[in-house]
Amino acid sequence: MLIVTSGTNCFTAPKYHNQIFGVVTGMNTKASFNENTLQHFGYEDSIINHLLLIKDIENHEWNDFDLDKRTQTSMLSKRFFTVQCIKSTESLSLNWPDIDIMKRDFKGAARQFIKIQIAQTQILLSAMMTMVRNFDKKKNILTDYFMPEDTENENMLRRNQLAAKDYLKD
Amino acid sequence: MIGGVVFFTSISGALSSILTEQDASNAAMSEKMLFLHKLQTQYRISPGLSQQIKHALNYDNKTTMVGLDDFVNSLPQHLSMDVTLAIHAKVFHHHPLMKRLKNKRLLSFLGQRLRPQFNYAGTYVYR
């Protein structure tokens, strides 16, 4: 897990032409005051892997051997999200064994920590779903994917296209 | 008095080991700089690239805290907590995740375990 202190990283979707759906900034940047940006990442994959594990347990009638096989560390540490650095980043990293110690020795705080991670994963998943839903829709470079397609957006699109035409004329 | 002597001995031992490691890392750093200079003259590496290499080497050298664990562990418990909290004070006071955890013992534990990392623009952190 990485706690970003300066610089900018982003969650990208390689299957969708590397579209960005989440931004992680350091504490020193102006963007860090924006509530839509995140300040740490790396634990979301574990949350997703555990959700998939719960779903698998519900869908299959496994015996202890199958369950042991499915709960191996290699199966629970698959990366689900891709994170790319877009501005050189300084961060503080926390390893899995240290997180395991935290879970064992500081149970209350670890519960709070995991709750925060689950909330962040929900935000990321919804952002990713919005990005996937709007991926094929018409858009231009000046409007982002998270805007709803209403008349105001269409007007903005038209205005932006006119502005671009004027700019190209010059 | 005996306790004081033991405490002083352990602290001075830890400090001397840190200073020795610092000297070793400085020597390694100057060796790397010499090698970079050789590369520059032999392969005519562009000034921009060599500047980037220097920046990376300097960053690694600054952030490598080889003896930190030993030093912090050698201190009495309350001091080791205060030292780790002081090292990462900015992160612990301003980072939203840390602010929400609010457990001094946990923050002290995390402070000892956190390792600095640097990523250049364009690289994949996780994929």
Task: DSSP for A65-131, please give it.
Answer: HHHHHHTSHHHHT---SEEEEEEEEEEEE--HHHHHHHHHH-HHHHHHHHHHHHHHHHHHHHHHHHH
User: A84 and B110 in contact by Cβ < 8 A?
Assistant: no
Give the closest of B88, B101, B124 to A113, CB-based.
Answer: B101
Enumerate the domain spans of chain B.
46-118
Question: Closest Cα to residue B47, out of B57, B61, B35, B37?
Answer: B37
In angstroms, the CA A85 to CA B14 distance is 37
Q: CA–CA distance from B23 to each of A142, B13, B19, B27, B68 (Å)?
A: 53, 15, 6, 6, 15
Q: Which residues in chain A have their CB less than 8 angstroms from residue B114's CB?
A: 3, 92-94
pTM to 2 decimals? 0.66
Question: Closest Cα to residue B51, out of B61, B40, B41, B35?
Answer: B40
Q: Is the pLDDT assigned to residue A3 strictly greater than 70?
A: yes
Look at phi and psi of residue B42 and say left if phi exceeds 0, alpha if psi is from -120 to 50, else beta: alpha
Question: Closest Cα to residue A102, out of B52, B126, B108?
Answer: B108
pLDDT class for A90, splitting at 50, 70, 90? confident
In angstroms, the CA A90 to CA A87 distance is 10
Query: Mapping DSSP to helix (H, G, I), strand (E, B) and coil, where does residue A137 land?
Result: coil
ipTM here:
0.72
Residue percentage of chain A with pLDDT more than 70? 75
User: A102 and B106 in contact by Cβ < 8 A?
Assistant: yes
**With contact defined as beta carbons under 8 Å apart, do B103 and A109 qualify?**
yes
pLDDT class for B81, splitting at 50, 70, 90? confident
Residue A98 to chain B, least CA–CA distance (Å): 7
Q: Which residues in chain A have their CB less than 8 angstroms from residue B124's CB?
A: 82-85
Per residue in A112-132, pLDDT (tens digit) is: 899 999 989 988 888 888 888
B 77-116 residues inside an 8 A Cβ radius of A: 88, 90-91, 94-98, 100-103, 105-106, 109-110, 113-116
**With contact defined as beta carbons under 8 Å apart, do B97 and A39 qualify?**
yes
Enumerate the domain spans of chain A.
2-136, 138-170
Tell me the mean pLDDT in the region A29-58: 81
pLDDT class for B78, splitting at 50, 70, 90? confident
Mean pLDDT of the residues in chain A: 81
